[in-house]
Amino acid sequence: MSKELAYSIGSTFPPLTPGIVRLYSMRFCPYSHRVRLVLAEKNIPHEIVNINPKKRPEWYSDIHPAGLIPCLQFDDGRIVYESVITTEYLDAVYAEKKLISSDPYERARQQMLVDSFQRIVALLFKALKFKDPEAFNEICKVLDHYEKVLSDTFFGGKDVGFTDLMIWPWFERIRSLKSLLNNELDKERFPKLTTWIKNMTLLDSVKKTSVRQDHLIVFTKQSTTSAEPDYDIGLEKPKEEEPAPAEEPQSNPE
Amino acid sequence: MSKELAYSIGSTFPPLTPGIVRLYSMRFCPYSHRVRLVLAEKNIPHEIVNINPKKRPEWYSDIHPAGLIPCLQFDDGRIVYESVITTEYLDAVYAEKKLISSDPYERARQQMLVDSFQRIVALLFKALKFKDPEAFNEICKVLDHYEKVLSDTFFGGKDVGFTDLMIWPWFERIRSLKSLLNNELDKERFPKLTTWIKNMTLLDSVKKTSVRQDHLIVFTKQSTTSAEPDYDIGLEKPKEEEPAPAEEPQSNPE
């Protein structure tokens, strides 16, 4: 049975592994994807525990006060959540391959680019949920700014950095617009972004953490039409329809 | 005529003063209030230019891409916006009186407290706009967590720090609930927060940047019922109803 199956109501807390950082995640969540990218890029030994956000395990409320993902848990009890805070924390503690510039203005410039990207997050949701073609036009208008400021291989220079990893998850999702909205980024309008996308797909961290497009498309369709999408699309599931990886199966599942 | 009057459509760009940081602000905006607190707490020489967010000056779009406030402008062309990013930037550059811990976990802990406070921001808006008493109960539930984690004079220890200044503007606004919703924080439920509020009001930076409660209450009433609240409440206004501090008055104001 796949270890990626989402933990759900009725499951048992999986004990921590000493020396290993644990990421509470959801396979299709772009914010979790940010942290998975950072863990992969910095080669931080970690394990992933997927959570069903609609049927959160009871034990998860002891870990994150509002029950959100992503969230990191360390074997000494430290908890860090919110994707940007988590990234800054990991970058400070695992300092070998720095993602964030130590220059305060360059750091602020990168943070502002990541913060402004929230407009695209909202517009992409609108485009996908309401099949709104105007939202796609708005996304392109915001992306004009990113096309303009991109002046090197990556947003921070020759090496992949903070901005690249923080905005990448949505570019994997923008790709799904081709299938869902019959729309895609115009290579002539976005020549630099088109090259940047190609550079990103060549990175090991991007390859390792990539969400399969066919699964993502099915999930996006489900999550924009159903209150209970399948968080385990494409995984081998337990035979009985009991709550996912409960280690002590209930004798009387509902 | 007061220098605090909000710049509006038709106004002329006020030239920068060499060596002085400029904050684009709005008198009643809690996010701008955060930055005003930081500038005051760190004794950074600065000037404030208020902006009418509903009738933004044409020249402001050259400064902030999305036209939002608060935003800092330096005389060498640097622009920094978004209140938390701005605070972190100022704390890194004006490093004499540090507000943010250099310990990565303590820094993350403070950032998480600030981030979680966004729930109160949304709830306070609901309470004030929709006169929703349930929203006030929800605010108290979130504040229970802050009551629990407050273990010293301030959220970061003996001295005022990042979390205190980032959340304070909403406590000034929660006070207005007493007048607007006939509701206030229960001193028995929140003994530590009650003392913290008292400690905060004793700070010079809080005194200097405080918004007058009577003005705030009128503004809150207006902004929750009208699309065009008066951003210049309590200020001496120009005699003619022309756009606020336009340095070259139009010959034919509408």
The stretch A210-217 carries a mean pLDDT of 91
pLDDT at residue A6 greater than cutoff 80: yes
Question: Is residue A240 very low, low, confident or very high in pLDDT (cuts 50, 70, 90)?
Answer: low
Question: Tell me, what's the pLDDT at B1?
Answer: 54
Residue in chain A nearest B81 by alpha carbon: A112
Q: Which residues pair with B154 in a beta bridge?
A: B157
Nearest to B82 among A88, A112, A145 (CB): A112
Q: What is the pLDDT of residues B84-130, one digit of tens each?
A: 999 999 999 998 899 999 999 999 999 999 999 999 999 998 888 88
ipTM value:
0.89
Cβ atoms A9, A53 nearer than 8 A: no
Whether B99 contacts B161, CB under 8 Å? yes
**Residue B11 confidence (pLDDT) above 50:** yes
A124 phi, psi to nearest 5 deg: -65, -40
**What pLDDT sits at residue A242?**
53
**Segment B212-226 mean pLDDT:** 89
Q: Which of B81, B92, B115 sits opposite A82 (nearest CB)?
A: B115
Hey, what CATH class is A104-208 in? Answer: mainly alpha
Chain A residues with CB-CB distance to B66 below 8 A: 116, 119
B-chain CB neighbours of A88 within 8 Å are 107-108, 111
- Supply the pLDDT for residue B95: 84
**Closest Cβ opposite residue B93 in set A65, A78, A104:** A104
CB B235 within 8 A of CB B52: no
Instruction: Give residue-wise pLDDT tens across range A169-186.
Output: 999 988 877 777 777 889
- Backbone phi and psi for residue B234, each to the nearest 5 degrees, phi listed first: 85, -5
Q: Which of A78, A111, A145 is the closest to B85 by Cβ?
A: A111
- The structural domains of chain B, with segments of one domain joined by +, span 1-99, 104-208
For an interface test with A, the pick among B21, B76, B87, B105 (most A C-beta atoms closer than 10 Å) comes out as B105
Q: Which residues in chain B have their CB less than 8 angstroms from residue A104's CB?
A: 89, 92-93
A-chain residues near B108 (CB < 8 A): 80, 85-86, 88-89
By C-alpha distance, the chain A residue nearest B80 is A108
Tokens at residue A49, please? 């525990």
Indicate if the pLDDT at residue A247 is higher than 80: no
Residues on B contacting A at a C-beta cutoff of 8 Å: 65-66, 78, 80-82, 85-86, 88-89, 92-93, 104-105, 107-108, 111-112, 115-116, 119, 145
| pLDDT greater than 90 at residue A200 | yes
Q: B104 and A112 in contact by Cβ < 8 A?
A: no
A interface mutation test: which of B21, B38, B85, B93 has the most A CBs within 10 A?
A: B85
User: In the predicted model, what is the mean pLDDT of residues A32-45?
Assistant: 97
Q: Which of B88, B92, B112 sits opposite A81 (nearest CB)?
A: B112
| pLDDT for the residue A250 | 45
Alpha-carbon span A183 to B101, nearest angstrom = 46
- Which residues, 6+ apart, have CB-to-CB distance to B208 below 8 Å? B40
Distance CA A234, CA A243 (A): 17
Proportion of chain B above pLDDT 90, given as a percent: 74
Q: Parallel, antiparallel, or unpaired: how do β-strands A79-81 and A46-50 relate?
A: unpaired
Distance from CA of A74 to the nearest CA of B (A): 11
If pLDDT is split at 50, 70 and 90, which confidence band does B254 have? very low
Greater model confidence, B205 or A1: B205
The fold adopted by the segment(s) A1-99 is: Glutaredoxin (3.40.30)
Averaged pLDDT, B11-21: 95
Give the closest residue to A30 by CA, choosing from A189, A156, A186, A169. Answer: A169
Instruction: Taking residues A144-168, report their average pLDDT.
Output: 96
Q: Which among B82, B108, B145 has the least Cβ separation from residue A80?
A: B108
Computed over every residue of chain B, the mean pLDDT equals 90
Of the candidates A26, A29, A35, A113, the residue annotated as catalytic is A29
Q: Give the tens place of pLDDT for each residue, B58-76.
A: 999 999 988 999 999 999 9
Per-residue model confidence (pLDDT) at position B252: 46
Confidence (pLDDT) at A241: 55
DSSP B140: H
Q: What is the pLDDT of residue B240?
A: 61
Determine which of A86, A100, A112 to mutate to test the interface with B (most B C-beta atoms within 10 Å): A112
- Tokens 């570019």 locate to A171
Size of interface A-B (CB pairs under 8 A): 54
Angle between helices B191-201 and B133-149 (to 10 degrees): 80
Interface test with B, best of A61, A75, A82, A102 (most B CBs within 10 A): A82
Q: Specify the pLDDT at position B126.
A: 87
Interface of A with B (CB under 8 A): 65-66, 78, 80-82, 85-86, 88-89, 92-93, 104-105, 107-108, 111-112, 115-116, 119, 145
How high is the pLDDT of residue A130? Answer: 84
- The answer to whether the B1-99 and B104-208 domains have the same CATH topology is no
Find chain A residues with C-beta within 8 A of B115's C-beta.
82, 85
More confident residue, B177 or A147: A147
- The pLDDT assigned to B184 comes to 81
pLDDT above 70 covers a percentage of chain A that reads 94
Q: Which residues of B touch A116 (CB under 8 A)?
A: 65-66
* Token pair for B106: 């303590």
Residue A22: other Cβ atoms inside 10 A:
18
What is the number of other CB atoms lying within 10 angstroms of the CB of residue B59? 12
Q: How far is CA B131 from CA A6, B123, B125, B182, B185, in A?
A: 40, 11, 9, 10, 16
A29 is catalytic: yes
Residue B63 near residue B24 (C-beta atoms within 8 A): yes
- pLDDT at position A127 is 87
Cβ–Cβ gap A65/B145 under 8 Å: yes
What is the model's pLDDT at position B239? Answer: 72
What integer pLDDT is reported at residue A246 of this predicted model?
Answer: 53
Residue of B nearest to A144 (CA): B65
- CA-atom Rg of chain B in angstroms: 19
Cα separation of A165 and A65, whole Å? Answer: 26
Q: Is the pLDDT of residue B32 over 90?
A: yes
B141-164 pLDDT, tens digit each: 999 999 999 999 999 999 999 999
